[in-house]
A and B are shown apart, each in its own frame.
Chain A
Amino acid sequence: MSDKEATDFSEALAGFKRGNPAYFEHEVIDHLVGIVLELGAELSVTRDRLARLEETLANGDPVSLDELDTGRPSAELQARLDQERQAFIQRVYGRLYAQVGSDKADAKTAL
C-alpha cells in the first residue's frame, strides 16, 4: 500500500473522523448510551463540588467561588471521592458487561 493509498484508505474508514458513529442497529441506542455516560460524568462533577463545599463549611473556612472553581479537595477528601466514584461506576455501569461474565472485574489500567 502506497502512502497515498494508506491515507485514502484511512480517511474512508467509518468512524475515523470524529463524530458519532453508530454501533447498534439503531443509532438511538448509541445516543442513549452516550447520554447515560455523560450524565454519570456530570453527577460525578456535582458530587465533587458539593463534597468540597461541605468540607469548606465543616472546617469553618470562608466560601469562595474562585476557590471552588480552581481549588482542589484535601488529600483525605480526594481519596474518599476516588473510592466513591469508582464504586459508583462499578455498581451502575459494570452491569453492562454482565452478559460477558465480567461485571465484577476489578479496575485495571492500560498496559
Chain B
Amino acid sequence: MTLISDFYVRGKAAGTYPALTTRRDEAYVEFIEDARNLLLHAQQDPIAGYSRTLLEDAGIDMDPGEDNTARAIGVLMADPALQCYYRVKRSLQESFWDCIQGSYDGRRADLERCMDDAEQQGPGSLEYDPEWVAPAYAEADIHLQPGGYLNESLAGLLYDYGLKVFLGGNGDDDKIFKQVAWMTGVPEDGNTARVLDLGCSAGGTTTALAQHLPKAEVTGVDVSAPMLRYAHLRAIGQDTAVHFQQMSAEQLSFPDNHFDAVLAMLLFHEVPVSAGKRILDEAYRVLRPGGVITVVDFPGDRWRDVYTMFFATMDATDNGEPFLPAYIRSNVEDAMAAAGFSVQPYDPSKFLLAPRIGIKPVT
C-alpha cells in the first residue's frame, strides 16, 4: 500500500476529500448536507425578507449601530419561525461535526501515520514546530469545529470535509478553490515567481494556486500545525508542489520585497480587526514594489444594515464566528490603503466573487 492509498482507503468524496470511514456515515452526512441546502441556504432570502418585515412592523429602522442591532435581536429572536431556523441551523451543524469526527476517529491512527509519513515526502515541503505558540485568538472553535484548528490532530481533515458540507456542493472537486486561484491578482509585469497564501488552513486554495501558476513557487502559511500537516498530504495527493510553513501572518519570517503576489482568502473575518491591520502591514512588507495582494472576504461596513448585523451577530454565537461582527463594522479597503496599497475599485455587492485587489506602488 502507498501513502496515498492508505489515506484514501475508501477513495475520495467529491473528488477531493478522503471518504468517511463507513457508508453509514456518508449517508448521514448526505442527509445533513441536503437539509442545510433546503432548510438553510434556500431559506436565506425568504427569511431575510420576513425578518425585515418584522423589524419594520416593530418600528426598528435599518441603522446598523450596536444599540439598534441589540433591539433587532430582541425582536427577531422572539419570533418562533426564526427561533426554529436558528435551532435547525445549530442542530444540523453540531450533528455533522459529531458524525465527521466520529467517522475519522474510526481510523485515526492510520490517518495520523499517513500525515507523519508525508512529512519527509514531496513534492513540496512542510515546516512546523510542535512547541510554537499560536496567537490566543486562534483558539476559537471557528464554525464550532470540535477542537478548533489547534487542539485536534485531524483538524485539517475535519475542516476540509466540513467545508464540503458547508458549501453544499460548491466545494466539490475543489471548485471554489480553483475559482479563487483564477481571481487572484498578479503584477502588471506578469512575474509571479513567488506567491504566498496567508492563513492557508487545509491548503485547498494554496494547491489550486500552484496548479494555476505552475511556474511559481507557492508558499502557504498558517498558525495551525494540524492544518498544515493535512495540507501537505493533500497537495501530495494531487502531485502538486507547495511549501507549507507554520507562522503567524502578523509576523512573517520572509525578507522584504520577497513575493510577487499574496492571497488572503477568508482570513480577515476570522481574526480581530487589530490583527488584520498587522497582517496587512506584513503583507505590504514582503511584497515587492508592483506586487499584488488579493483579499477574498465578506463585505465590510459599506454593505450592511441592521439585518446584516443581526445575521453576523447570530453567526458569532451560532457558527463560532467571534470576530465577524467587528469585521463587518470595519473596512478592509481602508485598512489596505492605510498599509500603503493602491486599492483597485471594489464592488461589495458581488460578495465573495469580487476580490479586493491592492498594489504595492513602485516608488
Binding site for B on A (CB under 8 A): 1-4, 6-7, 9-11, 13-18, 20-21, 23-24, 29-30, 33-34, 37-38, 40-42, 44-45, 48-49, 52, 68-72, 81-82, 85-86, 89-90, 93-94, 96-97, 99-102, 105-111
Contacts and interface: CB of A to CB of B under 8 A. Distances in A.
A75 to B, nearest CB: 14
> In the complex, which of the residues B90, B137, B144 has the most CB atoms of chain A within 10 Å of its own CB atom?
B90
Contacts, number: 199
Contact of B37 (A34, A48, A109): A109
A56 B355 CA distance: 49
Q: 3 closest A-B pairs (Cβ-Cβ)?
A: A10-B322, A102-B46, A109-B168
Interface of B: 10, 21-24, 26-28, 30-32, 34-39, 41-47, 49-50, 77, 80-81, 83-88, 90-92, 94-95, 97, 135-137, 139-141, 144, 146, 166-170, 176, 272-275, 316-318, 320, 322-323, 326, 351-352
A16 B90 CA distance: 11
A85 B22 contact: no
A83 to B, nearest CB: 10
A97 B40 CA distance: 10
Contacts of B144: 18
Chain A CB within 10 A, most for which of B43, B87, B92, B323 = B87
A13 to B, nearest CB: 5
Contact of A49 (B23, B32, B90, B272): B23
Given A15-B90, A21-B90, A111-B167, 14 more contacts: A1-B274, A2-B272, A16-B320, A37-B92, A40-B31, A41-B32, A44-B30, A48-B23, A49-B27, A70-B23, A72-B23, A105-B46, A110-B41, A111-B351
Given A41-B28, A110-B170, A100 B46 contact: yes
Nearest to B9: A70
A52 B23 CA distance: 10
A14 B167 contact: no
A61 to B, nearest CB: 16
Given A85-B31, A102-B47, A94 B38 contact: yes
Nearest to B50: A100
B84 A85 contact: no
A12 B326 CA distance: 15
Given A6-B326, A9-B322, A52-B23, A111 B34 contact: no
Contact of B83 (A23, A37, A38, A102): A23
A86 B38 contact: yes
Nearest to B353: A111
A81 to B, nearest CB: 8
A105 B34 contact: no
